[in-house]
Structure 1
Amino acid sequence: MKTTTRNAYARRIDAVIAHLQHALDDGGPLPDLPELAAVAHLSPFHFHRVWRALTGETLGRTVARLRLLRALHLLGDPEVAIGEVAGIAGYETPQAFARAFRDAFDASPGELRGQPDRIATAAAALGMPVCSGGATPLQVEVVSVDPFEVVALRNRGAFADLDTAFGELFGWAAEAGAAEAIVGLHGVPLGDHRDVPPEEFEFDCAIRLSTDIGPPAPLRRMTLGGGDHARVRHVGAYEGLEDLVDRVLAEWWPGSGYPLRDAPIHYEFLDDPETVPEALLRADVFVPLAAEGASRASDSGR
């Protein structure tokens, strides 16, 4: 990535952090996602995912880290009582503050009060994560994908249990006499399984058919593709797909000249985990892109 491009995105991240810090200092409500996305000049649709890729942490973790930094700063001020720190730093209760503080520093706020060296060490430990590139260079290509229809079933549960939903799709196709018409397996993540509790994680499992059959509820038709996409091949356990998406967004996308389009990322699974060794599983990741010129026009003057 060009240094100027890297610096431009670093400035966007810094602007969002400054915006969050200002809101925390004011003690008011935190900015919502569209507001933060606007500050970063990023698509609200992909903001959480882009933020994680570019910073190495979730937005929630960033807010938690800024609150702890605010608390450390307040502990260094003898005029602020320890009992006041929790409220000023944005914690709902002193108990919640004490738990978060001990989890982060293995010490209570009282233990660090009056110890500037320990406070400085704790603050340094809360620096931004370091995002390192993967050892294998990315092989990303921009492809135009015609829209296509799939039959989908939304799964709510652990990522490792997606085979249950795919099993239901295969069972319906077999009953409908369309098992031989399955020409593709696809998936649309509706969150990040690394950050969402398993019981809350949602994922649209889908099959593509070469014949037109109307599915019964809760199965439904869904259209994927349409327009330009960044396509990259993943090899290995399917649980690592999100790590590859992070690399695309952190290493390739900022210097690509393409803005992200407000459409979901989707996967095409090329192998069956029941018959192919985990290390050899293949899947293609498709990241939706808008026109290249739109990015350059939107970046002008910044």
Structure 2
Amino acid sequence: MLMKTNDNRHSYAARIGRVVDYLHDHLEDELNLDLLADVAAMSRWHWHRVYTAMQGETVVATVRRLRLSRAADRLANSDADLGDIAKRAGYTTAEAFGRAFKQSYGMTPGAYREGGSHALFKASNRTSDASGFPVEIVTLPAERCVAVPHKGSYMQISRAFEQLFAAAGPAGLVTRQSRMIGVYYDDPHAVDEDELRSAACLPVDEGRAVPDGMATVETRGGAYAKLSYKGPYADMRDAYRWLMGVWLPASGHEAADGPMLEEYLNSPADTTPPELRTDIFLPIEA
């Protein structure tokens, strides 16, 4: 009986995972609950209750959050027209997009493009101000993680995290103390976006079994430079440019072999983008 219960949990996790995949692949398409029920291969009467219970938010909230996050990325990191960004985010008018964006990000799209947290890092990059943001040297232990690999834009690693927690939750690996770590293997300036490799990771004790279909990753132990960042994930490209191009050359430290890490201290499912907190870790020589 216990085996059947566990199998059922994994089956539901896999079906919700298919919905997560579909949402990311068709985020700019028209979506409806009946279509997503077919993707999940679940009852049209009840599948959305299962999704909400397992994901911690409704599908409507997920789609809105992901679309606005992509819009924020385009505002911060491109010169795309505001009207086009609004349309691709699923809004028929710039006014409706502006209201929704301000509700989540605390400012209008135009104000965000000019003065979001990315603008502070851009200014420090222009002036080569190595003291503009606090960086701490820390030592991290190596950690064993269950993981879901991701290939493609780093801005879309949320897909892997949603798959990770959809599978790890029913396996009993998620607790209130669980931590979320992103491992980023490639330089986005040197590798095509479609080929970027990363992993969504959940540290677990050595003795815990890994659910079927999930990978394991061991993070590097050793010295790191930690930049504590607060703000939308879309703004972090300029934080990386500052850390690597301004702080590191002025610091006297040498970068060490090993991937960059990010630890997410709160969740976009229940935190507004300006309040998101992320620790960015650059491996350095001891």
Give the equivalent residue in structure 2 for 1:235: 230
Residue aligning to 2:180: 185
Q: Percent identity?
A: 25
Equivalences for residues 53-68 of structure 1 within 5 A: none
Asked if the contact 1:182/1:207 (under 8 Å) is kept, the reply is no
**Of 198, 204, 223, the match for 1:203:** 198
Q: Secondary structure at the match of 2:178?
A: strand
Matched length:
162
Contact map agreement 2:186 2:197 (CA 8 A) in 1:
yes
Bigger shift: residues 141-150 or 212-221: 212-221
- Which residue number in structure 2 is paired with residue 250 of structure 1? 245
Give the whole-Å Cα distance in 2 for the aligned partners of 1:239 and 1:195. Answer: 19
TM-score (normalizing by structure 1): 0.48
Contact 1:265–1:288 (8 Å) recurs in 2: yes
Q: The residue matched to 1:183 in structure 2 has which SS?
A: coil
In structure 2, what residue type is equivalent to 1:177?
G
Alignment match, 2:268: 273
CA distance in 2, matches of 1:187, 1:226: 15
What is the Cα deviation at residue 198 of structure 1? 4.7
- Measure, in 2, the Cα distance between the counterparts of 1:196 and 1:228: 26
- Cα distance, 1:182 vs. partner? 5.5
Q: Structure 2 unaligned runs (5+)?
A: 1-124
CA contact (8 A) 2:182 2:200 kept: yes
TM norm structure 2:
0.50
Give the SS at the match of 2:134. Answer: coil
- CA distance in structure 2 between the partners assigned to 1:191 and 1:217 by the alignment: 26
1:128-147 to 2 correspondences below 5 Å: 131-133=126-128, 137-147=132-142
Residues 160, 290 of structure 1: CA spacing in aligned structure 2 closer, same or farther, 3 A cutoff?
Answer: closer
Distance in 1 between the 2:279 and 2:266 partners? 11
Shift of 1:158: 3.4
> Separation in 1 of the partners of 2:267 and 2:164?
14
SS in 2 for 1:180: coil
Letter in 1 for 2:231: G
Equivalences for 1:1-302 in 2 at 5 Å? 131-133=126-128, 137-180=132-175, 183-192=178-187, 198-210=193-205, 212-216=207-211, 218-291=213-286
CA spacing shift, 1:253–1:199, aligned 2, 3 Å: closer
Per the alignment, do residues 278 and 134 of structure 1 end up closer, same or farther by CA in structure 2, a change over 3 Å counting?
farther
2:104 match: none
Bigger Cα Rg: 1
Equivalent AA in structure 2 for residue 282 of structure 1: R
Counterpart in the other structure of 1:60: none
**Structure 2 residue identity aligned to 1:252:** W
Q: For the Cα contact (< 8 Å) 1:192–1:242, is it kept in 2?
A: no
Q: Distance in 2 between matches of 1:258 and 1:194?
A: 22
Classify the secondary structure of the residue corresponding to 2:149. Answer: strand
**Residue deviations 1:228-258 (CA, integer Å, cap 9, x gap):** 1100111111133232122112222112222
Deviates more, 1:140-149 or 1:204-213: 204-213
- Deviating beyond 6 angstroms after TM superposition, the runs of 4 or more aligned structure 1 residues are none
**Is this contact kept in 1: 2:148–2:164, CA < 8 A?**
yes
Q: Which residue of 2 aligns with 1:25?
A: none
- Matched to 1:270, the amino acid is L
Question: For each residue in 1:245-288, what CA deviation from the matched residue of structure 2 results, as whole angstroms up to 9, or x when unmatched?
Answer: 22112222112222111111111011111111111111001111
